[in-house]
Amino acid sequence: MRLFVAEKPDVARELAAFIGKRNKASPKKEARYIEVGDTIVTWARGHLLEQGEVDDYFLDVPRTKENSSRGRLYWQHVPLPILPKKFLYVPSKEDSDRSAQLKEIGRLMKSATDIFNAADRDREGQLIFDEIIEHFGISGKPIKRLIFSSLDDAALERAFNSAVDNKTPGIFNMGLAAKTRGQADWLIGMNGTRAMTLAHVTPAKGAGSLNVGRAMTPTMSVVVRRHLEILNFKSSAFYVPMVELPDGTVLEWKKRLDESDTKGLDANGKIIDRALAERIVKAINDGLEGEITEAKSTERREEPPLPFSLPSIQSELSKKYGLTVEEITEACQSLYQKKMQTYVGTDCPYLPEAMHGEASDVLNGLKAMFGKAVSGTNVTRKYGCWNDKKLSGEGGAAHHGIIPTGIKGSISSEAERLVYQAVCNRYIAQFYPEHRYLAISLKAAFGGATGDEFNATAKAVISNGWKDVEGEGDTNEDRTTDNDRTAPDSKAGAQKPSDMGGRKG
């Protein structure tokens, strides 16, 4: 009997359906597994084993009324630091269904001739499977790893044809990395929380605990430090003279050319003396001649943004549409389960180079919804997002960016629509031309070598390229000054201003 262990029930159902089509057999659903001919598909429901609690390491300590309550030792009766020689992993003590599922998987593993790890392809997925194997001491039989990033038939067929040994270093080590991270969390959390609480929490100071965590504590430190910086920030007024040239170009004051003359300036070289700003304005308005000392116009090319990772799509769509992280994550997961896009639990935006060869099929699948955008693609175009070296892991066990599969499906919520649209547009953009524009900059001096420098920058679009797909197309130049005007004349020489204004910042 062949046994496949998925991480979640929904993945197990898709896997069983695929095996049924592949082997021409009808899946038969049981309470804790699906039978497909001589094959069994079961699921783990995430981690079925939990790290042992502190009391599990001190079972040899007699419990008394003085040192414990309900079998749990009081914190002051447990010596610190707690450094287990071997970490314990135990079935859930509070979730009987998870414990029963673990027991059933163990029974199936012991009777199977071949076992396949079909958990998610990330570190936690590898650990979820490996800790079950270790818990039941399974050995002496083939154990293979299936690696797939989507649930469509083509992806699963590739996974079956390229299954590798579960102990392949690049794969097995991913599970060890997750295990090590979990143990570090345990050591820092258990020891740090107990130490800080025993040292600083007393009946006189109030009840509760001072929680310490490997990720939580430094993150909280960053938040608190930034909060204190904001609270202690002292605003100060500064002034920015502005010059409008005859062609409409607006120049902003940048610095005093004579660095030894700091009167009226702060430590950062900003004008803090209103009178100084007004004198500069008056002198130019009275006819002080200025000279354009530098004029540059450089063509620049911009590749499309990399495909989304889970953190990047969460960040972008929450800012753009006000969706919560939970809404975006749930929408991504739902689209993955519908086979419409690839695996979502990734922090890597790059794609395997081999997947570039599948672009035609994917884009054809997107024509129904994105026909106009797809019509402008060129599948021979290959940007830096296709890069095997940027992928984490070895032996193909790598995360990659979230992309569509090209499989048609139904959209069941507004969040799903927005997520799917963003993922598809980002993928389609990879086959569009670069965004091309002129980066233009001017520098002008008023008052000679000891006077003041002004400058302006502008952007003149040559070709929108991929920005037409991403909805960022520029209809005219995108200036970095306060005024929307044509790109400045790129000729150095003497210029007189037509107007002058000041700005307080």
Query: Residue ranges of the domains in the chain?
Result: 2-52+87-167, 239-303+435-504, 310-429
Backbone torsions φ then ψ of 2, nearest 5 degrees: -90, 140
pLDDT at 398: 60
Half-sphere CA count of 441, side-chain side, radius 13 A: 8
Q: pLDDT at position 247, please?
A: 81
Mean pLDDT value of segment 294-315: 95
Q: How confident is the model at residue 428 (pLDDT cuts 50, 70, 90)?
A: very high
**What are the two backbone dihedrals, phi and then psi, of residue 362, each rounded to the nearest 5 degrees?**
-65, -50
How distant, in Å, are the alpha carbons of 15, 20, 154, 213, 338 from that of 36? 10, 6, 20, 45, 21
Q: Which of 33-37, 202-206, 423-427 has the lowest mean pLDDT?
A: 202-206
- Strand, coil or helix: 27: coil
Helices (H), 256-385: 274-285, 310-321, 325-337, 359-374
Which residues fall within 8 angstroms of residue 432, CB to CB, at 6 or more apart?
A: 304, 376, 377, 378, 381, 465, 466, 468, 469
Nearest-angstrom CA–CA distance, 31 and 8: 14
| CATH 3.30.1180.20 at 2-52+87-167, yes or no | no
CATH class, range 310-429: mainly alpha
How far apart CA 284 and CA 483 sit, in angstroms, is: 20
Range from 26-40, 141-155, 267-281 that averages highest in pLDDT: 26-40
pLDDT tens readout for residues 249-275:
889 999 999 988 889 999 889 999 999
Task: Give the residue, 315 or 484, on which the prediction is more confident.
Answer: 315
In terms of Cα–Cα distance, which of 84, 87, 67 is closest to 76? 67
The pTM assigned to this predicted structure is 0.75
Per-residue pLDDT at 116 exceeds 90: yes
Average pLDDT of the chain?
Answer: 89
Query: Is 347 a residue whose pLDDT tops 50?
Result: yes
pLDDT at residue number 206: 57
Domain 239-303+435-504 top-level CATH class: mainly beta
List the Cα angle 66/69/73 in 5-degree steps: 75
Q: How confident is the model at residue 204 (pLDDT cuts 50, 70, 90)?
A: low
**Least confidently predicted of 147-161, 249-263, 393-407, 427-441:** 393-407
Single-letter residue type at 343: Y
**403: helix, strand or coil:** coil
Whether residue 320 has pLDDT greater than 90 = yes
pLDDT, position 208: 82
CA angle 50, 56, 58 (to 5 degrees): 160
What's the pLDDT score for residue 487? 46
pLDDT at residue 472 in the model: 53
pLDDT digits (tens, 9 = 90+) for 69-92: 999 999 999 999 999 999 999 998
Q: Are 399 and 314 in contact (CB under 8 A)?
A: no
241 with 253: CB under 8 angstroms?
A: yes
Cβ count near 9 (within 10 Å): 15
% of residues, the chain, pLDDT over 70: 91
Give residue 243's pLDDT: 85
Judged by phi (left if over 0) then psi (alpha if -120 to 50, else beta), residue 434 lies in: beta
